[in-house]
Amino acid sequence: MTLTTPPVAAKKPHVETRHGVTITDDYAWLRDPGYPEVGDAEILAHLEAENAWFEERMKAQHDRVDSLFKEMRARIKEADESVPQKDGDYLYWIAFEEGAEYKKWWRRPVGAKDDGSADQLILDEVALAEGKDYFRLGALSVSHDGRLLAWSVDDNGSERFTARIKNLETGEILPDEIPGTLSSLVWVAGDRGIVYSLANEQWRTDNARLHWLGASTSSDLELYHEDDDGFRVGASLSANEQWLIIGTADNETSEVRLVPASDPLAHPVLVRAREKGVEYDVDLHEDTVFVHTNDTHENFRLATAHLSHPGDWTTLIEGSDEFYLTGFALFRDFYAVEGRLAGLDQIEVRYYGDPARVEPIAFPEASYSAGLGDNPEWAVSTLRLAYESMITPATVYDYSVAARSLTVLKVQEIPSGYDASLYATERLEVTARDGAKVPVSIMYRRDRKPGGPLYLYAYGAYGIGLSPDFSASMLSLVDRGFAYAIAHIRGGDELGRAWYKAGKLMQRTNTFNDFVDVASDLAARGYTARGRIAATGGSAGGELMGAVINSDPGLWGVVVAHVPFVDVVNSMVDPTLPLTPGEWPEWGNPVEDKAAFEYMLSYSPYDRVSAQAYPPLLVTAGLNDPRVTYWEPAKWVAKLRELKTDGNELLLKTNMGAGHGGKSGRFESLKETAEEFAFILWQLSATG
């Protein structure tokens, strides 16, 4: 049967009054009261109807989707493996087989022949995922003696993982099974126990627990419990593997405790009591605690303290307006510092006892993304690094600390062919309406005609900066005449912590204005034209999409919003939702703060939908998504269908068996990218 009209959601007025403001929400019924179980027949029928409409409208694009998918897949080296890395007595690596959606995890003894005879398959994701619509590996951890493997799996997208343990010597799967985890798996007490965190009913990790191998999970011990609903708990080992580090934090405050890894039941040592707005993380070298903290400067400093008095911090590296200190890594003979200078990644090698000796690692391009890779061992003389740019495929380096030289170990292979000389990349600076200078990373073919279509991406939240990374998939648009740009808008931390703060709480609308101003500027410079811009973002970036189509609908030629956080007010007044209490430091608390409520209401995309023309819009959702619940995009689309005055396409696709990240598997997820690009090409009437 051919569908001729989109589904129309029933209107069932739901009225709430807060801070003297009455809000009517006609589509509140789309939230199943039994969530996280979704069993309401009317709700499921509406979501399926939207999916059927998506399929109907995209039917004519099937050939284009298939073509895009095939060329994207042709850029992936199907039979591929990572560079082996030494950890203890073994070299570890991952490998994909031809046609496989998932990877296999391998190892072989150090010194063994590289002929396959000594290779050991320690975990087979392909086998674990067989017969499942969704599969995602969570944590994976080999015991210190190399005998046991702990791993966890989510098979429905709900991000509640089940942990299992395997004897690598015999291949036996041990009876130990820990459901509901949302954490790393940390081996302690001579590999006799594992520390993990459970997700509670609200999908919050408010605990660190100890499981003794062979014991019932009902007897697992709680090492730490967090009473603040906004904080999340996590555990890790120090770099020298002598200390269990238990951290608890929300989006702006943190607190750390130390426990001997050999004796996890020992009384924990509090590093420093939490202080609102102060973030810190730690590691240890001998009896010195290294502390990365923003207590004296928003761009963080690196401090040290003696283990006997871990809260007495002495500055090792001062905080700086210019250098944003994002992290550090300790090794036996030296340590590495990561940060950003003018928005570009920096890595420095430094030395214990010689603070004046600083060795920056130089990289070959003016705009790039670089960082420490997998460096599991304590005593090393080389560092594994990851590097790429918008026109340079992902590259793995070994950096010799003594020689201060880089050795290329692997460059991402593009089997169908890739010639970097055909492409150009630039880093621009756009002046926003309030005078802020917004960085923009852009790439395009050198033979591209000016004024063509533009794919513009941004996120702008949580202090998550976007790097100018290489995207093989994006070549499918760039080779069709698109420019590809990343707007490094406020709310991210590309230019330091102040850049992040300028896009959160009561300055949130700076993020939206920056995106609009970048798009307008790129059109004015001739990189594109108004109405030729494909804007896209996901999650908080989906909120961005909702805000800018309300404020400047005529600027965009097409918009894609993945799992968009658009029902901001209703979500942020509901503390029973998984993320809400921990999100108040990011967005504001509209329950207690009238000003925060009114400000949020002024930009909340769902609440600001009006009777006006909107650009063509593709929206995605995940039924099992615990981060942005499925009803947010569903309600938003329903309201847009009701009020918009145009005849442009509006499609909603809900993954009925997946969560926040969409479909799993390297090719299944690629199909969704092909659908997105086909929709964009269709709506912009571009060739291909």
Statement: residue 687 has pLDDT above 60 = no
- Kindly give, in sequence order, each residue whose CB lies less than 8 Å from that of residue 349, ignoring residues fewer than 6 positions away: 334, 335, 336, 358, 359, 361, 383, 401
Alpha carbons 473 and 666: distance in angstroms, whole number: 12
User: If pLDDT is split at 50, 70 and 90, which confidence band does 667 have?
Assistant: confident
Query: What pLDDT is attached to residue 3?
Result: 86
* Mean pLDDT within 8-21: 96
Residue 263 tokens read as: 């004796």
Which residues are within 8 A (CB) of 295 and not within 5 positions of it... i.e. 6 or more apart? 275, 278, 280, 301, 313
What tokens were used for 679? 């929709």
Q: Give φ, ψ of 556 to 5 degrees.
A: -105, 140
Measured between alpha carbons, how far apart are the two ends of the chain, in Å?
29
Domains and CATH numbers, the chain: 50-73+420-683 (3.40.50.1820)
pLDDT band at 666 (very low <50, low <70, confident <90, very high): confident
Q: Give Cα separations from 639 to 192, 256, 619 (angstroms).
A: 55, 45, 13
Please write the tens of the pLDDT for every residue from 247-302.
999 989 999 999 999 999 999 999 999 999 999 999 999 999 999 999 999 999 99
Query: Which pLDDT score is estimated for 662?
Result: 61
Spatial separation of the C-alpha atoms in residues 308 and 116, rounded to whole Å: 49
- pTM value is 0.92
Q: Is the pLDDT of residue 417 over 90?
A: yes
Given pLDDT bands bounded at 50, 70 and 90, which one contains residue 59?
A: very high
Which has the closest alpha carbon to 633: 669, 609, 614? 609
Q: Determine the pLDDT at residue 659.
A: 59
pLDDT digits (tens, 9 = 90+) for 626-661: 878 999 999 999 999 999 999 999 999 999 876 566
* pLDDT tens digits along 355-410: 999 999 999 888 899 999 999 999 999 999 999 999 999 999 999 999 999 999 99
- pLDDT tens profile 447-463: 999 999 999 999 999 99
CB 649, CB 683: distance < 8 Å: yes
Strand 437-445 and strand 423-431: pairing?
antiparallel
All residues at 6 or more sequence positions from 196 whose CB lies less than 8 Å from its CB, including other chains:
139, 163, 178, 181, 183, 184, 185, 186, 208, 209, 211, 235
SS3 41: helix
Catalytic residues: 539, 625, 660
What pLDDT was estimated at residue 260?
Answer: 98
